[in-house]
Structure 1
């Protein structure tokens, strides 16, 4: 399995592999699938079967490219939504156009990863796995399921791309393995990778250990033919690794930081939806306790100002790196 120092390196390498050796596949025809644009067009693609990579440091979770700028507000919004175990469609739709087209009822996203891992089926799978590892560090019954048998019988617009995740505590470091049935390698992997690498860090903090390697396995690793030129532009340019402040490394502090992230995301998003600039001003002026949550506050509040037509107000966080500060300024 190829191993990389950062997610940015793994991302770029994967794109090159698809460009150089990916097999051509005709379009999916299922009208319930985005792979056919829900029955509206042909979307042939290139793919690698059974593609895997390993990232040594999951804290290097951002791939920054001028050819395909990362939507950092969506990264934070997706993370908060997932860690809160929600499946409403309005949250991701706030950050990303087109989210509603995946919803069967225009209210929920049935395959939401965080919802299925944390709140569906009567309990928190990640929390249960962490506790099992705490009690028995060598345990292997540590797989959290996203995909479920019923998905194969539903006629739904959303069939989860993730199969599940597995955690291993080895040599006092937590390895996180994500198994994807299908991974769109160009425009979706930067967000799936960010989400699961941050969940990896969170789970490690709940155990009070360092995060070890992050492993990402995909049944099909692909992008569409009409994205080939963009993929070439990304790989021909510079893809920079970006990092965020680490989550606190104790269970109580990590949980508090996640709660702060969830509360900030919800508060800023609801203020933007209501056009409440006074509330946004309060978020802009009030530093979060956890450094990670504070960078999220700066990013999400700046994005909310942009949503309301303010193109000049940029909220800063002293915890942001220069690369992340540039992403926020460019919103």
Structure 2
């Protein structure tokens, strides 16, 4: 790789040899099991939840992902926005595509005109550090359950895959709740499915170690309650992030002590409040939620 705008060339600094599969796909039978847990590569749960809130709010600011994970700014052309943000493109750039498709499926359950675009023709004509990895998503209501297909033009298959899968499986769950149907299979298709040669040792350790699945409590199974849960997720994330950035420990204390409205958002509260304490230098306060599974509680305790 030589393109100075591509992370695959470390933005023009050096080649990054890689290994890949072309046209790879896999299927997840239960998208509620949205996390893959492996001791060799622990998942960053606050980043998962922060990315979810940011995406469900349709935003593209760079500061939100940068709060959870270093390196976000290197993808930004202007150091303020991320032009390829999946949620922004799906939910707000040109209107809420997912809501439009859900409404279409609600009116005609057999519909096939159900593809929401992330990648657009204009991406092929502009010079940017961000050429979205995702092409788009499609959903089908078949046999009373919602099947979801995520189409990626390129998928980093080791360190990025867990976060992309979590995000799109939670979007899948939200769409199913909007239709008041259960989730069917989640299908992930990639034009190139790859990792880099300097990650081979990590890949071998991941493959050698046991992998367990885990998930958050299910979203409410009605449209009204699912919308309310998404709204609470967005507010909790914003309030805790802003309080941590401001060093406002009293605000963090208040949010941490107040149980959220749903089991799903209460686990979000516990995780993001514990993370906020860590950001202000408090390495001992642990916020718990009775709704967290043992696996999720262990992730929060390890922050």
Q: Could you say which TM-score interval applies, normalised by the shorter chain?
A: over 0.9
- Candidates 157, 177, 200, aligned match of 1:205: 177
- Candidates 72, 90, 93, aligned match of 2:66: 93
Where does structure 1 differ by over 4 angstroms across 4 or more consecutive aligned residues?
Answer: none
Which whole-Å CA distance do the structure 2 matches of 1:171 and 1:239 have between them? 30
Which whole-Å CA distance do the structure 1 matches of 2:22 and 2:88 have between them? 28
Q: Deviations over 1:54-81 (max 9, x none)?
A: 1111000101111111000000000000
Q: Which residue of 1 aligns with 2:256?
A: 284
Q: Which residue of 2 aligns with 1:176?
A: 148
Q: What's the TM-score once normalised by structure 1's chain length?
A: 0.91
Which whole-Å CA distance do the structure 1 matches of 2:258 and 2:14 have between them? 48
Q: Which residue of 1 aligns with 2:281?
A: 309
Task: Give the drift of 1:194.
Answer: 0.1
Q: Deviations over 1:61-102 (max 9, x none)?
A: 101111111000000000000000000000000000000000
Which whole-Å CA distance do the structure 2 matches of 1:108 and 1:243 have between them? 30
Which whole-Å CA distance do the structure 1 matches of 2:13 and 2:267 have between them? 40
The 5-angstrom pairing of residues 291-330 of structure 1 reads 291-330=263-302
Q: Deviations over 1:154-194 (max 9, x none)?
A: 11000000000001000110000000000000000000000
Q: Which residue of 1 aligns with 2:243?
A: 271
Which whole-Å CA distance do the structure 2 matches of 1:299 and 1:285 have between them? 13
Q: Deviations over 1:119-147 (max 9, x none)?
A: 012x1000000000001110100000000
Task: Give the drift of 1:237.
Answer: 0.8
Task: Give the drift of 1:243.
Answer: 1.4
Task: Give the drift of 1:269.
Answer: 0.2
- Candidates 59, 77, 92, aligned match of 1:104: 77
Task: Give the drift of 1:283.
Answer: 1.0
Question: Structure 2 regions of 5+ residues with no counterpart?
Answer: none
Q: Does residue 9 of structure 2 align to residue 29 of structure 1?
A: no
Q: Does residue 124 of structure 2 align to residue 152 of structure 1?
A: yes
Cα RMSD for the two superposed structures: 0.5
SS of the residue 2:100 aligns to: helix
Q: What's the TM-score once normalised by structure 2's chain length?
A: 0.99
Which whole-Å CA distance do the structure 2 matches of 1:61 and 1:119 have between them? 24
Which whole-Å CA distance do the structure 1 matches of 2:138 and 2:90 have between them? 11
SS of the residue 1:120 aligns to: coil
The 5-angstrom pairing of residues 160-239 of structure 1 reads 160-239=132-211
Which whole-Å CA distance do the structure 2 matches of 1:115 and 1:270 have between them? 20
Corresponding residue pairs, total: 303
Q: Does residue 238 of structure 2 align to residue 257 of structure 1?
A: no
Which whole-Å CA distance do the structure 2 matches of 1:167 and 1:249 have between them? 17
The 5-angstrom pairing of residues 70-81 of structure 1 reads 70-81=43-54
Which whole-Å CA distance do the structure 2 matches of 1:311 and 1:189 have between them? 28
- Candidates 53, 68, 71, aligned match of 2:41: 68
